Chain A
Amino acid sequence: MGLPDTDMTARGPLPASGAWAKAAREDALARMTSMGLPTRRDEYWKYTRPDTLTSVTPEPAAVFNAEEMPLYDTIDRLKLVFVDGVFDAAASDDLSLAGVEIDRLADAAQMDIHWAKDLYGTLETNGQTPVERPLAALNSAYASDGVLIRATGKAAKPVSLIYRHADANSDAILHHVIRVEEGADLTVLENGPAAARFNKVMEVDVADGGAFHHVRAQGRDHERRAVTHIFARLGRESTFKSFTMTVNGVLTRNECIIEFTGDDAVAHVAGAAMGDGDFLHDDTVFITHDAVNCESRQVFKKVLRNGATGVFQGKILVKAGAQKTDGYQKSQSLLLDDDAQFYAKPELEIYADDVACSHGSTTGAIDEEALFYLRSRGVPPVLATDLLVLAFLAEAIEEIENEEIAEDIVARLDAWLQRRRD
């Protein structure tokens, strides 16, 4: 990484903590300082300018107050609300849920010992090689809030993290740690713009036979910026499924770093992004197969217009001995006009000889044949285009297992399109 372009002392002291958190934060600060913050010269920051993510103070972002249909509203869930990155107990449900233990990071960090001690910053550290991710280390050092979720059985309902944005100058750092114990099953939902600038890390440790489902909706506020990391470690016969919908936002960098450590596990990561105008969306994925007979699947779709930019950097690394690996990677963009841009960098690195890995990246326009077919049936071109846009995104949305949630996501995408149609 390049030289730090900001003075770290300007960020102030690390949050006050108990013994375990203090050590973890100091280690993280040391990691970040030795790496330095990312610059445009770094290989994985070629297409996305990191300066507004690394600066000491964030660019302001107007709070977008629009009447919107509420997301996940029909789903029975445990709601945990953060406003500009600070937990709002009054707006949240009680932190009690059958099959799950939940603590607030702000509380747990004051304790001398906590189960999260073995994970906080640990999965992040593992994910720093071979590619450095200094903004995640910055997060581990400075995050003062977040949730620590430990699923010991089948969670009675999804845990829903709601990120509200109230202050046009807010700079939020949240760090969540999730441990899915053997055979346990947890769904985490996320939505909301969060802050003017949002740095979020989620470390997910799925033990043997555990299942983790994640559905995230990023969007709404046009001027918001976000950098997020998911670090996942997957045990034997475990399942990890993550889907992200992104609409609006001048800058979104979503990194997902997954490591298979146990055999016969499955990981699917998918994303559907729609950008109009001043919008940059970057999916950076790194999947390491270090176990036998694991399946990884990446499906990323982007619809871009009016100068919106999409970036995809996806890598599958198959280590020696990770035989019977089944790796699949697909990144596609639909450019609705000549001003939109898509940069794709798919990578495969394979050191085992009995594997099936494939990747495909395409950039295209609306299919004229399909458009005419729809029009010949009486569907006006704008509506027909929207139908084809949703059809294009469908393959990514299909990665959501819960049909009710999937329908909710489609309805939200449709509403977004409709607002631009009327």
Chain B
Amino acid sequence: MLKINDLKVKLEDEDKQILKGVNLEVPAGKVHAIMGPNGSGKSTLSYVLSGRDGYEVTGGTATLDGEDLLALEAEERAAAGLFLAFQYPVEIPGVGNMTFLRTAVNAQRKARGEDEMSATEFLKVIRAKAKTLKIDADMLKRPVNVGFSGGEKKRNEILQMAMLEPKMCILDETDSGLDVDAMKLVSEGVNALRSEGRSFLVITHYQRLLDHIKPDVVHIMAAGRIVKTGGPELALEVEQNGYGDILAEMA
């Protein structure tokens, strides 16, 4: 599914190397987690993969089912099946949540040469999906993320994911700012989307999210590289001992 090979990235405006050769492969149907200390490059990796401006790729490759992601515009990556759940979902005053979602769904369909979803069909689908995420009609009507609580914003991200049905989902610190109940709700939403053809890359600081979204593989990232890869037990080790031992081991 997702293959990242020796990816090197620097800031566009600054002479600062953030990713120094990332190697990572997420096979179809698998959930991989990336943990790592602040500033290790986790969020940068998610932004570079989704096509945000401000970064310069200085080496390496990133492909989705063999397609060169780095050659695509952000919207083309989305249409190719990549989805980033933002750490800080953006507020868009004046654009209704429903309009936003329908525009996105139909833009992707159009890009893939599929028929647009009719208004009635869309309404039916979104209502059912919103209900399982406890998103009420009011939240669908309101402008995108405006006045949403932290938990509501993250649930809204998962709703978008559910509507767009991507094959590769990147969750960037989706647990940040969530209380226990909200985390459970969001995790259930993510777990409901797990399937053979869909992969997840879950970026987090904490083991507790991984109690709910159980990863197949855990990677530890530090200073712009994946420094250790293991099973779910690696997350527990981090939770108990911090990153110190692992980093010391590497040194």
Contact = CB atoms under 8 A, between A and B. Distances in A.
Interface of A: 367-370, 372-381, 383-384, 387-388, 390-395
A368 B93 contact: no
A388 B79 CA distance: 20
Contacts of A387: 95, 99-100, 103
B35 interface: no
A378 B78 contact: yes
Given A368-B53, A372-B53, A379 B107 contact: yes
Given A391-B95, A395-B94, A379 B75 contact: yes
Contacts of B89: 373
Interface string B44-61: 000000111100000000
A359 B196 CA distance: 56
Given A379-B107, A387-B100, 20 more contacts: A372-B52, A374-B103, A375-B51, A375-B78, A376-B75, A376-B84, A377-B100, A378-B75, A378-B107, A378-B111, A378-B164, A379-B75, A379-B103, A381-B75, A383-B107, A388-B95, A391-B94, A392-B94, A393-B94, A394-B93
B92 A375 contact: no
A388 B143 CA distance: 12
Contacts of A373: 86, 89-90, 92
B92 A370 contact: yes
Q: Which 3 A-B pairs have the closest CB atoms?
A: A391-B94, A378-B78, A394-B94
Contacts of A395: 94
Interface string B70-88: 0001110111000110100
Contacts of B79: 378
Contacts of A394: 93-94
Interface of B: 50-53, 73-75, 77-79, 83-84, 86, 89-95, 99-100, 103-104, 107-108, 111, 143, 160, 164
A369 B47 CA distance: 12
Contact of B51 (A370, A376, A383, A388): A376
Nearest to B166: A378
A367 B92 CA distance: 9
Contacts of A391: 92-95, 143
9 contacts: A370-B90, A372-B53, A376-B50, A376-B75, A376-B78, A377-B108, A379-B107, A381-B75, A390-B95
Contacts of A390: 94-95
Contact of A377 (B73, B78, B93): B78
Nearest to B86: A373
Given A372-B52, A372-B53, A372-B74, A379 B104 contact: yes
A370 B92 CA distance: 6
A369 B103 CA distance: 18
Contact of B160 (A369, A370, A377, A388): A377
A369 B90 contact: yes
Nearest to A395: B94
B92 A388 contact: yes
Given A379-B107, A380-B107, A381-B75, A374 B94 contact: no
Contacts of B92: 367, 370, 373-374, 388, 391
A375 B74 contact: yes
B74 A383 contact: no
Nearest to A379: B107
Contacts of A369: 90
A379 to B, nearest CB: 5
Nearest to A373: B90
B104 A378 contact: yes
Contacts of A376: 50-52, 74-75, 77-78, 83-84, 86
B90 A377 contact: no
Contacts of B52: 372, 376
Nearest to B77: A376
A380 B94 contact: no
B46 to A, nearest CB: 10
A368 B77 CA distance: 18
Nearest to A369: B90
Contacts of B51: 375-376
A369 B144 CA distance: 13
Interface centre among B74, B78, B111 (most CB of A within 10 A): B74
A333 B164 CA distance: 33
